[in-house]
Amino acid sequence: MHAETLKGRLLFAIPKKGRLYEKCMTLLAGADIQFRRPNRLDVCVALNHPIALVFLPAADIPSFVGKGNVDLGITGHDVILEAGMENYVTEELRLGFGKCALQVQVPEESSIKTVEQLAGKRVVTSFENLSEKYFGDIDARLGFQGEGKTKIEYVGGSVEAACSLGLADGIVDLVESGETMRAAGLHAISTVLETEAVLIRSTTIKHPEHQSIINLITKRIAGVIAASKYVVIEYNVRRSGLEVTTRITPGRRAPTISALEEPDWCAVSAMVEKKKSAQVMDELVKAGAEDILVFNLDNCRV
């Protein structure tokens, strides 16, 4: 796309493929960022905002946001640290998807049971910098120096095969469900960090004229994330039981309480975590609440 077309537009980097891509598409739709992406093109303009979407490998996004001209981006917390960009980008929002753990894994039949036993041996990973730092701290604590230090070797893919193919004594890799690792005969002995998708911006304000649209998009995305995590619960309760039920449903800030025509009754509305909604309903019944209803949220502002 011609540079003139992008002039004056906020640049928003999106992972072009992989585990975050589909979730990002849902997020953009929820934030009402409308676009049409031509085949085989990695840049397109939004139809309803002064935004250009740039589709990049997730691992490259922190550098483009932190040191380039890109204003916003979605990537993994892990790749920010791997790229050493934590001082150049600010994590605006944790997005609640793409959750996994960067773990140290070894063969199940191995005599190695701890990371201290793995230190000084061969470790294969696609997270070379994080692994160097992690095992560097362990080597320093154990007094391993020179040739005795842990040998970190980079491979770009199929990290889980490194042990069975004789390349490593252990690996460091992202683990989501653990099925791939179990299939390869591996199990975890340590977790380097927990990670998930994050919305990031440059720590340095590069385009002050874009701050208003950055704030708007950030709030919209926060609303989409909240809508996926919360439901609205409504119920009627006698005023004598109100103190108990509002402790059960405190809301994100406070419940909404309305008087009913019957003087001893009131209606309560509050946001509760979706995963806890069934338990909350049970507790409300025990506390004397009636006419309990739960509504899913399509979108919100929080």
**CATH, domain 100-195, list 3.10.450.50, 3.40.190.10, 3.90.920.20, 3.30.70.20:** 3.40.190.10
pLDDT of residue 130: 96
pLDDT digits (tens, 9 = 90+) for 64-108: 999 999 999 999 999 999 999 999 999 999 999 999 999 999 999
Q: Does the pLDDT at position 36 exceed 90? A: no
pLDDT at 287 over 90: yes
Residue 3 has a pLDDT of: 59
Query: What is the pLDDT, as a whole number, of residue 5?
Result: 64
Asked whether 82 and 152 are in contact (CB, 8 A), the reply is: no
Question: Which pLDDT value is given to residue 85?
Answer: 96
* CA 24 to each of CA 16, 78, 156: distance values in angstroms, whole numbers, following the listed order: 10, 17, 24
Count of Cβ atoms closer than 10 Å to residue 13 Cβ:
26
Whether the per-residue pLDDT at 1 is higher than 60: the answer is no
188-193: average pLDDT: 95
Give 257's pLDDT tier (boundaries 50, 70, 90): very high
CATH architecture for the domain at 3-98+197-206 = 3-Layer(aba) Sandwich (3.40)
pLDDT tens-digit series, residues 201-220: 999 988 899 999 999 999 99
pLDDT on residue 137: 95
Domain limits, CATH 3.40.190.10, in the chain: 3-98+197-206, 100-195
**Residues 2-16, mean pLDDT to the nearest whole number:** 81
Residues sharing a CB contact under 8 Å with residue 268, sequence separation 6 or more, in sequence order: 234, 235, 236, 237, 242, 245, 246, 249, 255, 256, 257, 258, 289
At 190 the pLDDT is: 95
Q: What is the CATH number of domain 230-296?
A: 3.30.70.120
For all residues of the chain together, what is the average pLDDT?
93
pLDDT of residue 2: 53
Higher pLDDT, 178 or 82: 82
Label residues 55-90 b or e (16+ Cβ within 10 Å = b). Answer: bbebbbbbbbbbebebbbbbbbbbbbbbbebeebbe
**Residue 139 pLDDT:** 94
The DSSP annotation for the chain comes to --HHHHTTPEEEEEE-SSTTHHHHHHHHHHTT--B---TT-SEEEBSSSSEEEEEE-GGGHHHHHHHSS--EEEEEHHHHHHTT-TTTEEEEEE-S-S-EEEEEEEETTSS--SHHHHTTSEEEES-HHHHHHHHHHHHHHHT--GGGS-EEEE-SS-GGGTTTTTS-SEEEEEESSSHHHHHTTEEEEEEEEEE-EEEEEESS-S-GGGHHHHHHHHHHHHHHHHHHHEEEEEEEEEGGGHHHHHHH---SS--EEEE-SSTTEEEEEEEEEGGGHHHHHHHHHHTT-EEEEEEE-S----
Which pLDDT does position 177 carry in this prediction?
83
Taking residues 175-186, report their average pLDDT.
Answer: 89
Q: What is the pLDDT of residue 6?
A: 73
pLDDT number for residue 40: 75
Q: Which residues, in sequence order, are bridge partners of residue 195?
A: 100
Q: What is residue 175's predicted lDDT score, i.e. its pLDDT?
A: 92
**Spatial distance between the Cα atoms of 281 and 289, rounded to a whole number of angstroms:** 9
pTM, to two decimals: 0.84
For the residues 10-32, what does the mean pLDDT come to? 91
Share of the chain above pLDDT 70, in %: 98
pLDDT tens-digit map of 122-139: 999 999 999 999 999 999
